[in-house]
Amino acid sequence: MSYKIREKISQAEEEKLAEYPELVRHLLFHRGVISRELADKFLHPDYSRDTHDPFLMKGMERAVLRILSAIADNERIAIFSDYDADGIPGAVILHDFFKKIGFTNFENYIPHRHDEGFGLNSTALDELSQRKANVLITIDCGVADRKEIAHAQKLGIDVIITDHHLPPAEGVPPAYAILDPKQLDCPYPDKNLCGSGVAFKLIQALLLRASTLNPVPFTLPAVGWEKWLLDMVGLATLSDMVPLVGENRAFARYGLLVLRKSPRPGLQRLLRKIGVNQRTLTEDDIVFSITPKLNAASRMGSAQSAFNLLSTDSETEAATAVEELLRLNNERKGVVGSMLREMKKIVADRYQEEPRLIVLGNPLWRPSLLGLAANTLVKEHACPVFLWGRDGEDRIKGSCRSDGSADMFELMKTAGDVFIEYGGHAASGGFSVTPEKIHFLEEVLLGAYTQLNSVPVATRSNNLIIDREISVDEVTLPVYRLLEQLSPFGMGNAKPVFLLRNVPVQSARLFGKEKNHLEVSFARANGGVLKAIKFFAEEGESPKAGDKKDAVVSVELSSFAGRSELRLRLIDLV
């Protein structure tokens, strides 16, 4: 891995941020925060200041009035959510809201990822219609489901879409109301909300509008009650990798505060089981420990156990959900590991030199797991990766991930009619292909990639950006506290990355059940040691005692099993 160190900032820029410590000034400047006013706003998110009026979102008034009417008339409402760690928390948000106001004529429906796929489907709509649903609210899906929403109309179901994906080129579907900040002519200031974020804006609007009605259609919760739902909004915002700027930064920061106090028995039990201290929960705990387990439910079967874990107030049901989730997650690890071994062998045999783009497929590969495998291949080969398998209905479906050299949505769009359907973001996406065209997929995608990105692989920049050099002895708790001011970290606000240059290795060991995690100890001048951890280390990565290495790291405070320890997260060791 090659890397590039950020330049020191000029004296003039230093003076604009003079009231902050030098390290904080440096990090703020390179994140585009170049004035005291911007720095104060960035370092001190404010819920009231940084969140927007929900009625600025196109379609909100119409959606709110229809839902309030359904509540008043006791019409049946169905909540149809995506099955991932954005859709499920959003489903919990609506579930908790209806329970809080005493409305019981509703149900949550989460499609089976393998058998039903992403988004609305006619079979599910038929079932919900038979159960007398009059209103259907989508969470994190629906904006591309024109045919299915037309079917819902025929069934007499009013569909209210809450979504955050880019609407298709042919326009939005004929839903009763659409809440999606990315839709045309939507004046909402923040276009980067996750699906649960949009669902939360709906709850805000429902409470605001209900409070102005006479009579009020339900018993209003205490003012500000909805902020307890920020645990789910924060969880989803961090899980879905949306940019942590603007309103999302407020949602992530306040979401973590609520998560640390959340009374949800399933969440509390899961954290105890995996050794995470709830009171010191961080974004890393979410992204690396909680999100994969929530997503494992749908990848390996039904997402219901993940939903139950987050929504239940029963200790018994929480215990059952946690055990099921951990079982599915362990099963998922084994299947993905087996697929990756097969994929790596194919790549080694097929590509004689580093590929510009990788396309692999096998009818036996489970589509729901391919995104995880694609992430690994992207890291190893620094190029876009497309993987496909077959779903429960014998359709060829796949996932793709970008190394940053191409927008996945634009790449699939440029590839044209080789796809039956596709969707996603710049960094990732999903697609389906006919059996007749699957043989041409790599050729067509490579042509599209060349058209969009003509930079040869040999000259393409894959540099890791390093914020600055640092010594082992500079890594202290006060320095960590300075870095913590810039958190939460994620897309749009990357965790600071440092370089330890030519640092002696005191010891190194592999640990874990499969001996695939690496711990390296670096000596401090005072005789102590600073440990660096790398999870899922590659074979041959472990150094020897006495070796001198350049270590690319981030700084973290581990609170595993109730013990706090300052350590490094090892990114690269050369």
Could you tell me what percent of the chain has a pLDDT over 90?
82
The pLDDT score that the predictor gives to residue 417 is 87
The pLDDT score that the predictor gives to residue 454 is 53
* pLDDT tens column, 296-329: 999 998 899 999 999 999 999 999 999 999 999 9
Helix, strand, coil proportions of the chain in percent (round to 5)? Answer: 45, 20, 40
Q: Is the pLDDT of residue 539 over 70?
A: no
Place 1 in a pLDDT band, splitting at 50, 70 and 90.
Answer: low
CB atoms within 10 A of CB 482: 18
Q: Is the pLDDT of residue 562 over 80?
A: no
Over residues 142-171, the mean pLDDT reads 95
The answer to whether residues 178 and 172 touch, using CB atoms and an 8 Å cutoff, is: yes
Q: Is the pLDDT of residue 31 over 90?
A: yes
The answer to whether residues 333 and 364 touch, using CB atoms and an 8 Å cutoff, is: no
Residue 187, classed as helix, strand or coil, is coil
Of the candidate ranges 74-78, 108-112, 427-431, the one whose mean pLDDT is the lowest? 427-431
Measured CA to CA, the distance from residue 175 to residue 178 in angstroms comes to 7
Over residues 33-58, the mean pLDDT reads 96
Q: Is 156 left (phi over 0), alpha (psi -120 to 50) or beta?
A: left
The pLDDT score that the predictor gives to residue 459 is 38
Q: Is the pLDDT of residue 504 over 70?
A: yes
* pLDDT tens column, 277-294: 999 999 999 999 999 999
Over residues 80-87, the mean pLDDT reads 96
* pLDDT tens column, 355-401: 999 999 999 999 989 999 999 999 889 899 999 999 877 889 999 99
Q: Is 527 left (phi over 0), alpha (psi -120 to 50) or beta?
A: left
* pLDDT tens column, 264-276: 999 999 999 999 9
* pLDDT tens column, 104-135: 999 999 999 888 888 999 999 999 999 999 99
Q: Where are the beta strands (DSSP E) in 402-528?
A: 421-424, 428-433, 464-466, 468-469, 498-511, 517-523
Place 555 in a pLDDT band, splitting at 50, 70 and 90.
Answer: very high
The pLDDT score that the predictor gives to residue 152 is 98
The pLDDT score that the predictor gives to residue 463 is 62
Could you tell me what percent of the chain has a pLDDT over 70?
97
Q: Is the pLDDT of residue 418 over 60?
A: yes
Helix axes of 230-239 and 291-300: crossing angle, nearest 10 degrees: 80
The pLDDT score that the predictor gives to residue 427 is 83
Which domains does the chain carry? 54-224 (3.90.1640.30), 351-452 (3.10.310.30), 464-573 (2.40.50.460)
Q: Is the pLDDT of residue 96 over 70?
A: yes
Mean pLDDT for the chain overall: 93
Q: Would strands 106-109 and 498-511 be described as parallel, antiparallel, or unpaired?
A: unpaired
**Per-residue CA distances from 222 to 49, 92, 104, 207, 228 (Å):** 21, 19, 19, 10, 11
* pLDDT tens column, 216-232: 889 999 999 999 999 99
**Per-residue CA distances from 67 to 94, 132, 158, 229, 346 (Å):** 12, 16, 10, 19, 52
